[in-house]
Amino acid sequence: MLSIRKIGVVGRTYRHLNRYRQILTILFKYGYGNLVERLKIEQYLEIGLQLISRKRRERLERLSRYQRLRMAFEELGPTFIKLAQVLSSRPDLVPVPLLAELAKLQDKVPPCSFEEARGVLEEELGAPLEDVYDDFNPVPLASASIGQVYQARLKNGDSVAVKVQRPGIRKIVEVDLEIMLHLATLMERHIEEMAFHRPVKVVEEFAKALEKELDYLTEAGNGERFARNFLTDPKIYIPAVYRSATTSKVLTMEFVDGIKISDVDAMLAAGVDPHIVVNRGADCILKQIFEHGFFHSDPHPGNLFVLPENVICLLDFGQVGSIDQKTKEDFVDLVDCVVNRRPGLATRVLLRLSLWDEEPDLRQLEKDVDEFMNQHLFVPLKDIRMGKLLQDLLELAAQHRMRIQPDLFLMMKALGTIEGIGALLHPDFDMISQAEPFIRKVKLNRYNPRRLLQDLFQTAVDLKHFSQQFPQDVLEITRLLRQKKLPIRLEHHGLPDLLATHDQISNRIAFAIIIAALIIGSALIVVSDTPPLFYGISLIGIIGFLAAAIMGFWLLIAILRKGKL
């Protein structure tokens, strides 16, 4: 597990200060100096902040703040690049306009030396490299922030691709995560408008996602699950995992020499039909979503290869998503309502698929959904682009401060990616028509006799548990009441405003009474000629009248400022 702790006095180690200085310098450089200043970070990092030279900041006025943030993440290194990639699929955590910008980040960094990678390999496999692999190419095929991939050959002659984790990456990630957590805590404490995006929760969710990505055994398990799901489908190929040469930091999989799905010329030269490839690729993703409920969430061209006879090969199973039956059915209902122009029902389904802190205005939401349908659906069905439709629907939800569930967004993103590939290979490709049989199957499955029996049986089981548990709960409540141990929590809304108004009224009455007392007291003093006298009038009485006049004007001004007499 990643070891992450809050940075306090003990945590102000050199590794934190040095890295903190780098992070703050880059944030200043890309125009986020005002943000750093609002965090009031100098009290936590006195030395680090003093080392930053304001002269090093670059002026990037032509770029949007989200473009600058993407560039800053790119320069900040592996952990921040991964954070951007994770956030690009989390509309529940970041603003919608930022999603597309973060998705542009390329996870390509210079490779580490082969000797460093060899050290990780031999330590993880517990044997010299030559004892495990018959041949190992020291030049990496690809290099990313977390690991790099090599081509090799096992002792049995099988050609394999070996993914090796970068040495020391876990410690680098832990330091960056601790700094991220500290910055997120300061954001929630000092920047009110950041509260809605919950930066501390963002860092915590990112830590969970990164923990999975740092464990290659999880990716190996995902690949094996996909292989089982497509075991009887000859049109889809999943590379085999070699468990004997796989650990949490080393992943050995079958090497596949195929054609990148976006390389149309190479496909035509190899006798591959792009139209068949498009249909099979789309069916592959649709089957994962609507039948398996477990899908590849990043099916970009680099992760999809084409093999002879139009076979589709999936690669890289580090990013996956899952969707339960209820969410799947709700999504189908949403698509059905949108296509058939039923804004009222579509609004209710959208609410079921979303998360929110405060319930949105239902009337305004339904009006916006109706307008959304008018913009998109008065065109022939084949001209509707599912990717664009889902993206605009996501933005509509964000306008009402609703957050789409992460796995649902991953599913929408996967469908949009496949639609984009389909348009590249086949200009007349229609994703809606391709998905129609799968959607119809999900709708009909609700009324399948076996499904109805399962639902009826589950309802009976739930009723049985309820009938057994309910009397026990009643007895427990009665016992707590008898012993006067039942805690009661009252929640009031609007009471602080009422109390503040009450205090204001009380203060004004008390103020008025004091003014009246001053006037009456001063009048009595003047009448009684209490010395000292000023032109025959009591000086104390005059001072009392002046104090009453000043306080009276003060009270009048306070009332006029409120706008109510």
173, part of any domain: no
Question: Do 384 and 336 share a domain, yes or no?
Answer: yes
pLDDT in tens, 486-536: 777 666 666 677 777 777 788 778 888 888 888 888 888 888 878 888 777
Structurally, the chain folds into a number of domains equal to 5
Question: Do 243 and 336 share a domain, yes or no?
Answer: no
Residue 160: which region, alpha, beta or left (left: phi > 0; alpha: psi -120 to 50)? beta
Predicted local confidence at residue 49, as pLDDT? 45
State mean pLDDT over 132-138: 93
Task: Name the band, by pLDDT with cuts 50, 70 and 90, for residue 51.
Answer: very low
Predicted local confidence at residue 355, as pLDDT? 79
Torsions phi, psi for 215 (to 5 deg): -110, 100
The Cα–Cα gap between 292 and 228 comes to 11
533, part of any domain: yes
Domain region containing 184: 14-107+180-207
Q: Write out the DSSP string of 29-56.
A: HTT-HHHHHHTTGGGT-HHHHHT--GGG
Residue of 176, 298, 316, 407 with catalytic role: 298
Question: Do 186 and 328 share a domain, yes or no?
Answer: no
pTM, rounded to two decimals: 0.70
Residue 298 catalytic?
yes
Element (H, E) at 511: helix 495-527
464, part of any domain: yes
pLDDT in tens, 79-103: 788 778 777 766 656 676 777 777 7
Question: Do 199 and 242 share a domain, yes or no?
Answer: no
pLDDT greater at residue 108 or residue 472: 472
Q: Is the dihedral of CA 549, 555, 560, 565 positive or negative?
A: negative
Torsions phi, psi for 438 (to 5 deg): -70, -40
Question: Do 437 and 455 share a domain, yes or no?
Answer: no
Name the amino acid, one letter, at 535: Y
Predicted local confidence at residue 56, as pLDDT? 45
Question: Do 330 and 423 share a domain, yes or no?
Answer: yes
State mean pLDDT over 130-157: 90
pLDDT in tens, 456-466: 888 888 888 88
148, part of any domain: yes
Nearest to 441 by CA among 343, 325, 344, 346: 325
Question: Do 263 and 407 share a domain, yes or no?
Answer: yes
Q: In the numeric block, which tokens belong to residue 471?
A: 């009397």
Predicted local confidence at residue 1, as pLDDT? 54
pLDDT in tens, 342-398: 888 888 888 888 877 778 888 888 888 888 887 766 655 556 666 677 777 777 887
466, part of any domain: yes
Question: Do 237 and 273 share a domain, yes or no?
Answer: no
Burial class (CB in 10 A: 0-12, 13-18, 19+), 374: exposed
Question: Do 347 and 247 share a domain, yes or no?
Answer: no
Cβ 42 vs Cβ 135: under 8 Å? no
Task: Write the CATH number for 224.
Answer: 3.30.200.20
pLDDT in tens, 261-307: 888 889 989 988 989 999 999 999 999 999 999 999 888 888 899 99
197, part of any domain: yes
Predicted local confidence at residue 194, as pLDDT? 65
Q: In the numeric block, which tokens belong to residue 229?
A: 């799901």
Torsions phi, psi for 133 (to 5 deg): -115, 140
Question: Do 121 and 240 share a domain, yes or no?
Answer: yes
Question: Do 275 and 356 share a domain, yes or no?
Answer: yes
Question: Do 159 and 308 share a domain, yes or no?
Answer: no
pLDDT mean across residues, the chain: 80
Q: Which of 424, 442, 460 is the last residue of a domain?
A: 442
The Cα–Cα gap between 268 and 274 comes to 8
The Cα–Cα gap between 245 and 448 comes to 45
Residue 146 has pLDDT above 90, yes or no: no
Tally Cβ neighbours within 10 Å of residue 177. 22
239, part of any domain: yes
The Cα–Cα gap between 48 and 45 comes to 5
496, part of any domain: no
